[in-house]
Amino acid sequence: MSPGHGDALERLVHDLHQVIAHLPSAIYVCEAPSGLIRLSNARAVELWGRAPEPGDTDERVWDSFRLFRPDGRPLPHAATPMAEALRGGAGLDEEVVIERPDGSRVALHVDVAPLRDPEGRIVGAINVFPDLPDRRRLEAPLDLAERTRAEVDAARLAAIVASADDAIVGKTLSGAITSWNRAAEAMFGYTADDVIGRPITVIVPLERLDEETDILNRLARGETVQHLETQRLTRDGRRLDVSLTVSPIRDARGRVVGVSTIARDITEQKRGEAQRRAHVEALELLYRLTGAIARAGSPEEICEAAVDAVKIAGRADRASVLVVDPDGVMRFKAWRGLSEAYRAAVEGHSPWSPGTVDAAPILVSDVLAEPALAPLRDVIEAEGIRAVGFIPLVHHRRVLGKFMVYYDAPHLFTAEETRLAETVARHVAFGLVRAQAEAANEALLERERAARREADAARADAERANRSKDEFLAMLAHELRNPLSVIVNANAVLGAWPLDPRADRARTIIRRQSQHLTRMLDDLLDVARITSGRIELEHDRVDLRAVLEHAVESQRHQIDAKRQRLATALPGGPVVVMGDPVRLQQVFSNLVNNAAKYTPAGGHIWLGLDTDADGAVVRVRDDGAGIPSDKLDTIFELFAQANPTLARTEGGLGVGLTLVKRLVELHGGSIRASSDGAGRGAEFVVRLPRAGHASEPAAPAAAPAGGPGRRILVVEDHDDGREMLATTLRSSGHEVFVAATGGAAVEEAALRAPDVVLIDIGLPDIDGYEVAQRVRGELGQAVRLVALTGYGQPRDRVRSARSGFDAHLVKPVEPARLVEVLRGVCAR
């Protein structure tokens, strides 16, 4: 037998003993499944003829008897009602015949019922034998069967009531207690002797007395109250949550004479339900708070969402959220139910400083009893606050701020409230850190965006300024080329007549300075094109040796004029690089020109070409003015000059070396300047990558020979320029016609049918492109068209070619170059 069965049976035995001791029927109780007799009354002993001994079973006490069925068949013990009830749990109601040891027989009615514990398990069985012989001798008003059943029912009911786990209480219609089982004693703390005869209100709370009166009234009307959830009091004053089922007790005539109440303690159930509800509410609160924090775009929005969550979590009357500001002071960020005066009075007061580590909640159930709040007690009382809770906002052990919950009456803080408040605090602290980080990041991004906008604006301004500069330089060059072209041509015309030595010397100076001015204009425009990315290079195989020879030749007159000594060291065979021969000659002409310019008369210049594993190396060295050490790093910058005073004397804009460096880099090379200091000369070293093996390199083209006279129409709106250009051409044996406007040019071309038309692009009425198209339409392909312009960029040359021009000349035009072009176009 399991311990559970034994305990249940013990309770039954104890309660049944009081009930069956004086009943007239023979009654005994056996334990399941052993059949051990646990209880018997005096009539059962009388029936057996002896009292059962310890350890006697049902089978043993009947061992001296023979049992028969009413029809005379033997009844084995295993088939007796008691054995079947213990084995299968079925109640039996039948007659058996007992043969005593003396051979006498008696027929007895047997009523056996199983006994079960609250879980429904069989713990035993009760057997009732009415004493048939005695009953026949009694004059009872009740039928035997009715009496027997009544006794069995009474015994069974008594057993059930006594063994029930629920409290079962009987009372009169006036509320007097008439019965009180053991479960009621355990539940309420009163014994049956304490309460029987007393009013039921002894366990009813004062506020529920009307409820009890209503129950009795309903029962008096014959109603039944099912599962009424309410509260009752224990002897020590505790409140129990109970579920009541109340039924009327009726007499034989059906009248309600009393009340039976079954009370089940559901305190733990209600507590569990409350905890589950609180848990669900907490989860919903945290879910809403987490969503609000995720949607919040700033710390202020997080605080606004948090303050309501704090108030709900603490079941508080008011709440607030404070955050540490950059000065280390806790400032109100959100609040509910607090006056401005209160906030102003308490802001800055905090139990923690920003440096506090591992701050814990501080809960004050009654502010009037808390000494730490004495300095603020008057302010707190005036606000109507009686209890307050401080919950720190902590992230990585650092205090970010705090929650405050306020109550208008003393408040006992529960563990659940505190845990939930701390959970909310962790969520909000994390959200604040995230929002503060995002705000800081956004501020940084905004600063970066502002800086980028400023940089973009500055870049745009610089680009506009650069474009304006380029446009100005192009316009300046164009405007300067017109008078310069006149000067060049006029000087060439002067050379057609013999001059005295002084005049011839002046003409030579004019020619040299015109060339110098032309070179400066070219350099200035080239730098503008390179910096704006508008320069285009040819990519041919070029013999660098030939390029250097031409560069030296182009500067020979300047070197000879200053009686300087030039030494060259060039290899015997070609040194081939990939590049633009014109631009490479421009690079080295500039370097040789610089060496000549800054070397005094009678000085020395060295030019060398060599190769190494990486390519070609060109060195240009002189023993002239040199470069101060503090200028070496900036010598290649635009408009930079190593010696401004000397530069002003020699002339120059400080763009030549910038142009050289940019052109060398466009060819994939590098340039380096070195000097031992002012007055000790300088050296420039250019490195260029060598070209792979291929066909013979291109060399600078030689000037074509002269040709016979032609009929030439000059179209130029600048009077001096038109006159000098016509004079130059006539002195070369050509027949020349002139026109000052585009319209006049078209008419003159139709009238004169020239071989060549020289057309200035910038005409006042019709631009030169349209003039070219009209002349070509009038005279066909036989006429040769040459553009004259101050613009020499690649796109200008492309446009003139598309307009029908055969050649493109950039002002000022040297007479030799003009003759060269005329012969070239006429030879096609």
651 phi-psi bin (left φ>0, alpha ψ -120 to 50, beta other): left
How confident is the model over 687-702, as pLDDT tens digits?
999 876 444 444 443 3
How confident is the model over 639-676, as pLDDT tens digits?
655 555 444 344 455 567 888 888 898 889 999 999 98
* Edge-to-edge strand list for the sheet holding 330-336: 330-336, 318-324, 398-407, 387-395, 362-364
Q: What is the pLDDT of residue 617?
A: 95
Q: Which class in CATH covers the domain with range 3-163?
A: alpha beta
Q: Which residue has the higher pLDDT, 356 or 181?
A: 181
* Tokens found for residue 65: 């008897």
Helices in 753-814 by DSSP H: which ranges?
768-779, 794-802
Which residues, listed in sequence order, are joined to residue 785 by a DSSP beta bridge?
Answer: 757
Helices in 38-181 by DSSP H: which ranges?
42-48, 58-61, 81-88, 132-137, 144-163
From the number of C-beta atoms within 10 Å of its C-beta (0-12, 13-18, 19+), residue 231 rates as middle
Distance of CA 614 to the CA centre of its chain: 51
682 vs 426, 553, 567, 604, 651, CA distance in Å?
Answer: 72, 21, 15, 11, 19
The structure's pTM equals 0.39
Q: What is the pLDDT of residue 47?
A: 81
Q: Which residue has the higher pLDDT, 283 or 694?
A: 283
Read off φ and ψ for residue 16, nearest 5 degrees.
-70, -30
Residue for token pair 């006539």 = 730
**What stretch of H or E contains 487?**
helix 415-494
> Letter for the amino acid at 216?
L
Q: Is-same-fold flag (3-163; 711-826)?
A: no
Q: What is the pLDDT of residue 131?
A: 55
* Tokens found for residue 817: 């170059």
Q: What is the pLDDT of residue 651?
A: 46
Using pLDDT thresholds of 50, 70 and 90, give the confidence band for residue 12.
Answer: low
Select 167-265's CATH number: 3.90.1150.10, 3.30.450.20, 3.40.50.2000, 3.40.50.80: 3.30.450.20
> Letter for the amino acid at 385?
I
Residues 70 and 687: their CA atoms lie apart, in Å, by 137
Residues 798 and 787: their CA atoms lie apart, in Å, by 12
Q: What is the mean pLDDT of the chain?
A: 81
pLDDT, average across residues 530-535: 64
How confident is the model over 126-161, as pLDDT tens digits?
898 865 454 333 333 334 444 455 455 555 555 556
Let me know if domain 536-688 sits in CATH 3.30.300.30: no
Sign of CA dihedral 125, 46, 129, 147: negative
Q: What is the pLDDT of residue 698?
A: 44
Number of Cβ within 10 Å of residue 819's Cβ equals 20
Residue for token pair 């027949």 = 735
**What stretch of H or E contains 659?**
helix 656-666
Q: Which class in CATH covers the domain with range 711-826?
A: alpha beta
- The closest alpha carbon to 89, from 69, 115, 67, belongs to 115
> Letter for the amino acid at 142?
L
Q: Is the pLDDT of residue 727 over 90?
A: no
Residues 310 and 405: their CA atoms lie apart, in Å, by 7
Q: Is the pLDDT of residue 162 over 70?
A: no
Which DSSP string corresponds to 150-195? Answer: HHHHHHHHHHHHHH-SSEEEEE-TT-BEEEE-HHHHHHHS--HHHH
User: For strand 92-99 and strand 66-68, is the pairing parallel, antiparallel, or unpaired?
Assistant: antiparallel
Question: In this predicted structure, which of 2-11, 532-541, 580-589 has the lowest mean pLDDT?
Answer: 2-11
Q: Are 121 and 98 in contact (CB under 8 A)?
A: no
* Tokens found for residue 612: 């190494």
Q: At what angle do helices 719-731 and 415-494 cross, to 10 degrees?
A: 50
* Tokens found for residue 452: 């980028």
User: For strand 565-569 and strand 604-612, is the pairing parallel, antiparallel, or unpaired?
Assistant: parallel
Domain regions of the chain by residue span: 3-163, 167-265, 299-499, 536-688, 711-826
Q: Are 316 and 310 in contact (CB under 8 A)?
A: yes
How confident is the model over 173-217, as pLDDT tens digits?
888 898 899 999 999 999 999 998 899 999 999 999 999 999 989
Radius of gyration of the chain measured on its C-alpha atoms: 63
Q: What is the pLDDT of residue 502?
A: 77
Residues 228 and 231: their CA atoms lie apart, in Å, by 10
Q: What is the CATH number of domain 299-499?
A: 3.30.450.40
**What stretch of H or E contains 393?**
strand 387-395
How confident is the model over 324-352, as pLDDT tens digits?
888 888 889 889 999 999 999 998 888 88
Which residues, listed in sequence order, are joined to residue 568 by a DSSP beta bridge?
Answer: 607
Residues 425 and 402: their CA atoms lie apart, in Å, by 8
- If DSSP codes are grouped into helix, strand and coil, which group holds residue 425? helix
3-state helix, strand and coil shares in percent for the chain, rounded to the nearest 5: 45, 25, 30
Q: Which residue has the higher pLDDT, 34 or 140?
A: 34
Q: Is the pLDDT of residue 452 over 90?
A: no
From the number of C-beta atoms within 10 Å of its C-beta (0-12, 13-18, 19+), residue 464 rates as exposed
Q: Is the pLDDT of residue 529 over 90?
A: no
* Tokens found for residue 418: 């505190």
Using pLDDT thresholds of 50, 70 and 90, give the confidence band for residue 538.
Answer: confident
Q: Is the pLDDT of residue 3 over 60?
A: no
Using pLDDT thresholds of 50, 70 and 90, give the confidence band for residue 516.
Answer: low
Residues 91 and 88: their CA atoms lie apart, in Å, by 9
Residue for token pair 């009357």 = 317
Largest CA distance in the chain: 189
* Tokens found for residue 114: 């199983």
* Edge-to-edge strand list for the sheet holding 711-715: 735-739, 711-715, 756-760, 784-789, 807-810
